Chain A
């Protein structure tokens, strides 16, 4: 049957299980948008800026594990996607970004709204395509979705010239892809698995560092089995939060620049690191030359290029986390590390995460803790970047897979609102809390219109301190409090919410926090709370830039209330 390029794209998306497209139309996309009504199973959500489309697709992908789709027109539409594509690339988020391009006869002539988006996105996509003719489109769509979701996931861009949408060809959707240069290794090499098992069985002070790869691979049960069988404490990276229940007796929090002191100390004292689906980012390792100085390192990752990139590795295992852990678990013997686990427990007692002071003002940690309590730890938390992100990572307790969604690698302020929108669209039955700073929130604030129009019930907590808080913290600590370009005189967020038709509350005192959060939860639709927090509150613990993980700074003033880190053994 003959079909136009626009139809072929839609048919392909339907076959790939796409249910929602975050997009923004434009001249070259008219032939595509014109046929959307024929495909009601493809829900189109009109964003207010293409960056929002990319982040929403990313948030959707992280919340569901499915491929997120965003759509933008040629020229500025395409370039507006770039930040969102880069963000997805660095955090290995499966995404297909579709851009319109000027018609083929105009390509290379600097036509109106022509830009070389495949050239621009070359270093920030797993792969990209400029579709040469309508006959290639079905194959390219098939390949793009396959590449985006398989192996180490990532964004794939398809740039489609206007006339390719219009031309008609016979439609055949390929059953399989033929990519001779793309064959991810899934099974770990048995000899490497044996070597790793030997190290695990002989270790006295082992630590698992679990990253986002565990979540992508869905290897929760396998990770839990390994940790419990070999009695290995589990520490996660920021993006690995949710890969292992934080209420578990073997859970010892997050490592890194703002990780828990005891987690960083454990990594520094360990004699074996089992790194699973993580890439030794500098924010996680601190100074790499001093990283885990006493440890052998086993590194399990699906991407061979991650092995040995940043730190030395003793036993690399390339493969899918779930399959590799299954193989490991068959051979690992059950053991105990009573003294080691007790040592970590002692460190945890001596260096509790953060002690929340009694304070006249509203502390952000207190706000996050109350959101945790009111939601029963069941929400999906989507954060911005900076202090709000670290507080959300430290003070909410994540027991469910993929319950924290955050921009890790790129550190994109403005990610929070559109990503929360995408997450809520993907998991409508879940409560989604967007934890924003007053700085980042204003970067993509226009998506409030999308949220209102589409009735996407995102709950937003703005931790409003009137500063670009993390940068201010660095200025305070390393630039003698010279606050250059960090004070913000924000807008009236309640007035803004009102203008968008979204109910909102301002909270300035501790006792107002719980009722406000409860009110937000009771509301069927979106809700915004403007928390006026202590302006110069800092994030602790902190490993200063250039320091080793063990050289961790803790909160200078010791407070009163210690948040109990564990309820159930």
Chain B
């Protein structure tokens, strides 16, 4: 149920153990987490995390507040309801014979996905999009036989500037810059 999924974005200090702290929190409080994606942010020493929570089974506001209590977490925002861009990347390795290869390539083209590796008996496809797009492609390719799939989980940000997550601090910094 897409409607119950909440997208939280957290700006966290880039320190050892920070992921452990967050994972420990989810486990301990019984929060149901669908995916987590982490990477560097535009700010030095800070990483940005996108967390997808199932709002049907978990109190999302509690997740947000508990995350915010972690000292290494600088800011948490719930993007749900905002106008946001959400994407996921998947690598799909699918069985391909000379008979099926061109059909697979056709499907890949329709989805504007890329073939990133070719071997005698398989093709590896890279697809980026929202979960629905990734799922649709996966469903179409399933008939050919999936060897392996790996997905990043959702990454998200809201549209326009300034990003709500860069948040209070960046906004106030920007204001300062303007006024000075």
Known: A305-B65, A307-B65, A308-B62. 6 other contacts (CB 8 A): A118-B17, A119-B20, A126-B71, A180-B169, A304-B68, A305-B69
The residues of B that contact A179 with a CB separation of less than 8 Å are 71
| Smallest beta-carbon distance B155→chain A, Å | 21
Task: List the A residue with the shortest CB-CB distance to B72.
Answer: A181
Those of B1-56 within 8 Å (CB) of chain A: 12-13, 16-17, 20-21, 24-25, 28
- Chain B binding surface SS class: helix
Question: What are the interface flags for A296-311 relative to B under an 8 Å C-beta threshold, 1 for contact and 0 otherwise?
Answer: 0000000111011100
Contact B12 A181 (CB under 8 A): yes
| Smallest beta-carbon distance A2→chain B, Å | 27
- Let me know if A337 is at the binding interface, CB within 8 A: no
Spell out B's residues near A (CB within 8 Å): 12-13, 16-17, 20-21, 24-25, 28, 61-62, 65-66, 68-75, 169
Contact A304 B65 (CB under 8 A): yes
| Smallest beta-carbon distance A485→chain B, Å | 29
Those of A70-126 within 8 Å (CB) of chain B: 118-119, 122-123, 126
Contact A123 B13 (CB under 8 A): no
Contact B71 A182 (CB under 8 A): yes
The residues of B that contact A181 with a CB separation of less than 8 Å are 12-13, 70-75
Contact B13 A305 (CB under 8 A): no
| Smallest beta-carbon distance B98→chain A, Å | 50
3 smallest beta-carbon distances between A and B, as pairs: A305-B65, A181-B74, A127-B71
Known: A180-B74, A308-B61. A122 touches B24 (CB 8 A): yes
- Let me know if A10 is at the binding interface, CB within 8 A: no
The residues of B that contact A180 with a CB separation of less than 8 Å are 13, 74, 169
Known: A123-B28, A308-B61. A303 touches B71 (CB 8 A): no
Task: List the A residue with the shortest CB-CB distance to B21.
Answer: A122
- Let me know if A435 is at the binding interface, CB within 8 A: no
- Let me know if A147 is at the binding interface, CB within 8 A: yes
Bound complex: CA A179 to CA B75 (Å): 12
22 pairs, A vs B, C-beta closer than 8 Å? A118-B17, A119-B20, A122-B20, A122-B21, A122-B24, A127-B71, A130-B16, A147-B71, A180-B169, A181-B12, A181-B13, A181-B70, A181-B71, A181-B73, A182-B71, A303-B69, A304-B68, A305-B66, A305-B69, A307-B65, A308-B62, A309-B62
Question: What are the interface flags for A176-199 relative to B under an 8 Å C-beta threshold, 1 for contact and 0 otherwise?
Answer: 000111100000000000000000
Those of A148-181 within 8 Å (CB) of chain B: 179-181
Spell out A's residues near B (CB within 8 Å): 118-119, 122-123, 126-127, 130, 147, 179-182, 303-305, 307-309
Interface hub of A127, A179, A181, A304 (most chain B Cβ within 10 A): A181
Contact B25 A305 (CB under 8 A): no
The residues of A that contact B13 with a CB separation of less than 8 Å are 180-181
Bound complex: CA A304 to CA B66 (Å): 9
Contact A123 B24 (CB under 8 A): yes
Task: List the B residue with the shortest CB-CB distance to A308.
Answer: B61
| Smallest beta-carbon distance B48→chain A, Å | 13
The residues of B that contact A147 with a CB separation of less than 8 Å are 71
Bound complex: CA A179 to CA B65 (Å): 17
The residues of A that contact B75 with a CB separation of less than 8 Å are 181
Bound complex: CA A3 to CA B16 (Å): 26
The residues of A that contact B61 with a CB separation of less than 8 Å are 308
| Smallest beta-carbon distance B54→chain A, Å | 19
Task: List the B residue with the shortest CB-CB distance to A304.
Answer: B65
Contact B62 A305 (CB under 8 A): yes
The residues of A that contact B71 with a CB separation of less than 8 Å are 126-127, 147, 179, 181-182
Bound complex: CA A305 to CA B25 (Å): 13
Bound complex: CA A304 to CA B68 (Å): 9
